[in-house]
Chains A and B, each alone.
Chain A
Amino acid sequence: MARLILIDTATAAGSVSFAEEGRVVASFGHSQAEDHAAYIADYVYRGLSQLQLNGTAIDAIAVSAGPGSYTGLRVGLSTAKGLCYAWNCQLILLPTMEIMAAGYRQLHPEIHEPGFLVPVLKSRKNEVYAALYKTDGTTIEPARPVQLDEEDFSTWRNYLPMHVFGEGADRIINKLQPLSVKIALDTTYQLHASHMAELAERAFCSGQFADLAYAEPFYLKPTYVGK
C-alpha cells in the first residue's frame, strides 16, 4: 500500500492532497490566484498533523510537473524535493495534462462512449497548452504549446466526440468553428491535486520515479533570452 502526498501548483490554484492506495484522505488548497509559496509547505504540515502522520509513513511525493506557470511549477517541485530529500522517499513527476484528463473523467462518470479529451491551459497571447487523449486515458498527442493563429484545426475534427476543458478551452473552441454537437466545452474544470491520486498510485506501483537531484518541471519551451 502506498501513502503519497500529491502537490499541484501548475496554475493560479494550488493544492496538496494526501492519498492512500489511490484514495484521497485529506486535501488542502486555494482556488484563487494566491501565493503558492506561502501555502504549500503549510498544507503539508496541516495534512501530517490532521492524519497524525510523520515522514516515515510517506512512500513518495507526486508533483504535477507541467506544463503550467514556470514559477508555480518550481514552487511545487522545490517543495517536493525538500520533502523527498528529508524523508529519503521517492519523487514522482506526473504530466499536468494527464492529471487534468484523469480529473475530468472522475468528475464526469457519465461519459461512457469512446471519445477524446482535450485539456487546455492558458499560456500567453495566441498560445495555449493542449493535449489529446482517448477517454480511456491513452495518449494520442502529449501536451504541447498550440499556436492559435498557426495551427490547422481542421485535423482536430478526426477526433470526435471531443471534450475540450480547462482554462483557455474557449480559445481552442473558437478555432474549431463551425461547432458540432460532438464538441463539448467546459471552462469550469479546475485542476486539483486530488485528481493525481490514481495516476500517482499507478506510477508508484510500476516504479516510475524521477531522479531527485536533476528532476525539473516539464517546461516544454526553452528560455527566451532577449538581447
Chain B
Amino acid sequence: MNDAGKTNLHHANPVNKTITLLAIESSCDETSAAVIRDGKVLANLIANQKIHEQYGGVVPELASRAHMQNIVPVVDLALKQAGVEKNELQAIAFTQSPGLIGSLLVGASFAKALAVALNIPLIAVHHMKAHVLANCIDEPRPSFPFLCLTVSGGHTQIVLCKDYLDMEIIGQTIDDAAGEAFDKTAKLLGLPYPGGPLIDRYAQQGNPHRFHFPRPQVPGYDYSFSGLKTAILYFLREQSAEDASFIEKNLPDICASVQQTIIDILMQKLIKAAEDTGIREVCIAGGVSANKGLRKRLLEEAEKRGWHAYIPDFQYCTDNAGMIGFMAYHQYLAGAFTDLRVTPSARGDWKMAES
C-alpha cells in the first residue's frame, strides 16, 4: 500500500499545558502500563507472568496469551492509581520494538485502538533506548553526554547518549546477552527460572576467586558470552564426573566466580569506553542492572576513576512502561509522533521513530 491517506493523529499542544501520557510495554513477559505527566511517572504498573517458570524460560505463545488477559486490568489500574481520566490523556505511547512479535502486537494493537478512540496522537518507542533513559527519570540524573551499559536477558550494549533522543550504540554483544549467560548458568546449576537473581544471591556468600573462567578477546567495545557459557558447561561436567555432589557442595563459590567473570567482562569494555571518550557520567540499565554484584562494582569503579555513576530505581531496571512513557514524553516534546499504520518489529531499528 502507498503512503496516500496515511493517518497521523497529530495535535498541536497549547503552550504551558500539562502533558499527560499513557504508556504500554508488552515486549516480553511483562505487561506494564504507566501514566506520565510532564516527565514525572505518576503510576508504573507491572504484571509478571508466572506461567513461564514451569517451562524454564519464556514461551512466546503463552506470553502473548497472558498479555491479552492482562492488558485491560493493568492499564485500568495504572490510570486509577495515577488519578487520571482517559479524557485527560494527550497521547498513547507503546513499545514498538524490539521484542517478541506476538507480545508486541497485543500492546501495539491496544495502544493504536486507544489513540483512535480517544483521538489523540500515538508515540512508538524503542525499548532499548527507553532502558537508557530510565536513568534520567529520577534524581540524581546524569548530564549529557553519558555512557550507559544496558544489560538484560536479550541485550548487552554500551550506548553513548548525547541527548534524550540522540543515542548511539558503540558496543554490543556479538552472540549471547550477559543476562542469558546468567540464566543459562543457573539452568546448568539446576536452579529454577529465572535463575539470574538466584546466582546473585548465592554469589553474596561465595568466593569469587575460587574458580577461573576464560575472558573473551573481542575487538572494540563489543562483547561475547557464548564461549563463557560453553566453558562453564564443560567445567561443571568435568567436576561433576569426579564428584557427583560438586555443584551442591560449591554452589556459592561457583555462583560468585561466574558472576565475577561476567561483571569483569562487562566492566572492562565500559572502562575502556569511558577512557577513550573521556566521559565520566556512567550509567547502567536493563534487568541485569538489578544485580547486586554489578551495582557494587560500578560504584567501586566510579570511586576509583572519578566517575559519577547512576543506577535506575529497581522498578525502572526490569521491563516497565514507566521508562517507555518517559522516553515518549521527550518524543512528544520533539513532535515525534507516529503514523497509525505503524507496526511492531521484533528486531527493531535503532534509527526509528523519534528521529
Contacts and interface: CB of A to CB of B under 8 A. Distances in A.
Interface in B284-304: none
A224 B59 CA distance: 9
Given A46-B7, A71-B102, A82 B113 contact: yes
B222 interface: no
A5 B110 CA distance: 16
A222 to B, nearest CB: 10
Interface stretch (A18-26, A111-119, A140-148, A209-217): A209-217
B80 to A, nearest CB: 13
A38 interface: yes
B41 interface: no
Contact of B114 (A30, A35, A85): A85
A79 B7 contact: no
Interface string B71-92: 1110110000000001000000
Contacts of B65: 216, 219, 223
16 contacts: A35-B343, A37-B108, A37-B343, A40-B109, A41-B115, A42-B7, A45-B116, A45-B340, A48-B116, A71-B64, A75-B105, A83-B116, A86-B114, A213-B69, A216-B65, A223-B65
Contact of A225 (B59, B106, B112): B59
Contacts of A214: 69
A78 B109 contact: yes
Contacts of A75: 105, 109
A78 B55 contact: no
A55 B62 CA distance: 32
Nearest to B79: A85
Contacts of A78: 68, 71, 105-110, 113
B257 to A, nearest CB: 29
B59 A223 contact: yes
Given A41-B340, A216-B69, A225-B62, A85 B109 contact: no
A219 B64 CA distance: 12
A169 B174 CA distance: 47
B344 interface: yes
A19 B89 CA distance: 29
A218 interface: no
Interface size class of B (residues with CB under 8 A): 35 or more
Given A78-B105, A82-B110, A85-B114, A213 B62 contact: no
Interface in B319-355: 340-344
A74 B109 contact: yes
A37 B64 CA distance: 14
A212 B72 contact: yes
Interface in A28-73: 30, 34-35, 37-42, 44-46, 48, 54-55, 70-71
Contacts of B73: 213
B48 to A, nearest CB: 17
Contacts of A219: 65
A81 interface: yes
Nearest to B6: A42
B178 interface: no
A159 interface: no
Contact of A81 (B86, B105, B110): B110
A74 B7 contact: no
Contacts of A83: 113, 116-117
B81 to A, nearest CB: 16
Given A41-B115, A78-B110, A223-B62, 8 more contacts: A42-B341, A45-B7, A79-B109, A82-B111, A82-B116, A85-B75, A212-B72, A213-B76
A86 B343 contact: no
Interface of B: 1, 5, 7, 9, 55, 59, 61-62, 64-65, 68-69, 71-73, 75-76, 86, 101-102, 105-119, 340-344
Contacts of B112: 37, 40-41, 79, 82
Scoring A39, A81, A214 by chain B CB atoms within 10 A of each residue's CB, the highest score goes to A81
Interface of A: 30, 34-35, 37-42, 44-46, 48, 54-55, 70-71, 74-75, 77-83, 85-87, 212-214, 216-217, 219, 223-225
B87 to A, nearest CB: 9
A44 B108 CA distance: 15
Contact of A38 (B62, B101, B115, B341): B341
A219 B106 CA distance: 15
Contacts of B107: 78
Nearest to A42: B340
Contacts of B113: 41, 44, 78-83, 86
A40 B65 CA distance: 20
A45 B121 CA distance: 12
Contact of B106 (A48, A55, A74): A74
B116 A44 contact: yes
Contacts of A37: 105, 108-109, 112, 343-344
Nearest to A30: B1
A227 to B, nearest CB: 9
